[in-house]
Amino acid sequence: MNRFKVVLVVPNYRWTELDESAFWHITPYNLCLLAAMVRDLCEVQIIDAYAPDMAESEFVDVLQAAAPDLVGVTVMMDQCASAGHRTARLAKSLFPDTPLVMGGVYPTVNPDQVMTDPHVDYTVVGEGEYVFRDLVESLIGRRAMPDKGLSYRKGPAVVHTGRADFIEDLDALPLPAFELIDFERYTSMAPRRSVDGPVALPYARIVTSRGCPVDCVFCQVKRIMGRKFRPRSAESVLGEIGWLKERYAIRSVIFDDDNLFTDRRRARDIFQGMIDRGFDLPWKSTATAVFRLDEELLQLMRRSGCQYICIAIESGTQRVLKEIVGKPVDYTQAQRMVRLARSLGIYVAANFIVGFPTETWDEIRRTIRFAEELDVNYVKLFHAIPLRHTRLWELCEREGAFKKGFHQSEIRWNTGQIESDAFSSQDLTILRAYEWDRINFTDPEKRRQTAAMMNINEAELLAIRRKTLARVQSEMVPAATA
């Protein structure tokens, strides 16, 4: 008797998303973790249509050959929804009677919307590891349907059981089943030319916690993972790094969660453990809460291999920071930490966001000035992006700040969807592009350091700058001639 077969799919977002810069070539960690949860119950195959840029016809051929008994589709954010639903349609065109489940951030935040798609039979709502295992057990006849964390069809009706319980013991989760994918291919491929990219190849991304106690106005994490900080133990994190180094010979690490530093003692234990175990792995932190840092911690980070941190300041004005964003940043402390980190040889990037409802043009300009005065190695300037079920979305609704004709499906990272009497989305697109270029690349030494951090030469960096500005200019032409 053939074993029940589960096929887990990463959609190719290029089928519906034209902005290639919006997505990264990253290891499908979540699907490998789901596979590890159920491989004792069934056969599992993972199809990543994005990384090799599969055409729809190629994906159809691969899926047809797989002959699944259950198809799982991951959709990591709202911007990927169209590709997720197209993948579901393609799967059902081949196997109309095979159940299909969708999971990820987008289904967790929008289960009602997902279930309007007749091609989706189940939606996992919340953290899916145990719910997905329960679903597979149900489908093979070992147990009843999960009573939490699932939306599904029962005749013509849709049953919503609410969100799954948050997983308290993250250490109990298995190591991801990387043997089901060509892991070396992912670890040896830099995810686009960016300061956030790996220091050395092959590399691995590590997530050390879930949940976030800070309630930033623009963030969906509260809805996805809750406000409670749920860390893995230092021993669990170090065990995974050691396993990756021994089995896959990784040469660098990217810590990829928002709360690596929330528990300073745990952070110190991780970094000291990296030293004590002789890992000798350079590492980056892509989301560093600057208000959690202190001198002792920064020095230990550097000794353990830290090459790069990205801090989130968000705004250069107290009113916007406190009344809108809700992040406990102290400007004086942030400036001190930036100076110290740079003096230790740590490359520092900083995130800033402009275009919040009620933000004035003067406040936007002050944010630009503070971004320059902070004197980090690299400044990232973002539009305020209104995602559903965030306080920013609610603020936009109250203030009538959505761009005329806005629809949720049109959310993009590189264009604004918020407007006011003070600014248009086009104003901010132009401002972001040219101030990004001016602040980051006027100083020759900063240009050199940034090119080195991106593992490119200055000629290649110049090409990236020109491409960025050309894209902005091309986007402005239709509006200018309308």
Question: What tens digit of pLDDT does each residue of 380-420 get?
Answer: 999 999 988 899 999 999 999 998 877 666 666 667 889 99
Measured CA to CA, the distance from residue 214 to residue 209 in angstroms comes to 14
Structure tokens at 243: 């396993």
User: Torsion over CA of 155, 149, 29 and 388, rounded to 10 degrees?
Assistant: 90
Question: At 374, phi and psi to the nearest 5?
Answer: -60, -25
CATH pick for 188-481 out of 3.40.50.1820, 3.50.50.60, 1.20.120.420, 3.20.20.70: 3.20.20.70
**Cβ(166)–Cβ(210) below 8 Å:** yes
CB 100 within 8 A of CB 119: yes
- As assigned by CATH, the class of the 5-160 domain is alpha beta
3-state secondary structure of 375: coil
Q: Tens digits of per-residue pLDDT, 420-447?
A: 999 998 899 999 999 999 999 999 999 9
Quote the percentage of the chain above a pLDDT of 90.
Answer: 86
Residues 6 or more apart whose CB falls under 8 angstroms from that of 337 comprise 290, 293, 294, 298, 311
What is the DSSP code string of 40-103? TTSEEEEEESTTTT--HHHHHHHHHHH--SEEEEE--SGGGHHHHHHHHHHHHHH-TTS-EEEE
pLDDT-derived band at 18 (thresholds 50, 70, 90) equals low
Asked whether the predicted pLDDT for residue 201 surpasses 80, the reply is yes
Domain ranges of the chain: 5-160, 188-481
* Lowest mean pLDDT across 18-22, 61-65, 254-258, 324-328: 18-22
Backbone φ and ψ for 32, nearest 5 degrees, come out as: -65, -30
**CA separation, residue 161 to residues 34, 137, 171 (Å):** 20, 17, 26
Q: 81, 117 in Cβ contact below 8 A?
A: no
Residue bearing tokens 């298995």 = 174
Question: 55 CB contacts (<8 Å, ≥6 apart)?
Answer: none
Q: Which pLDDT score is estimated for 256?
A: 92
100 close to 91: Cβ distance less than 8 angstroms: yes
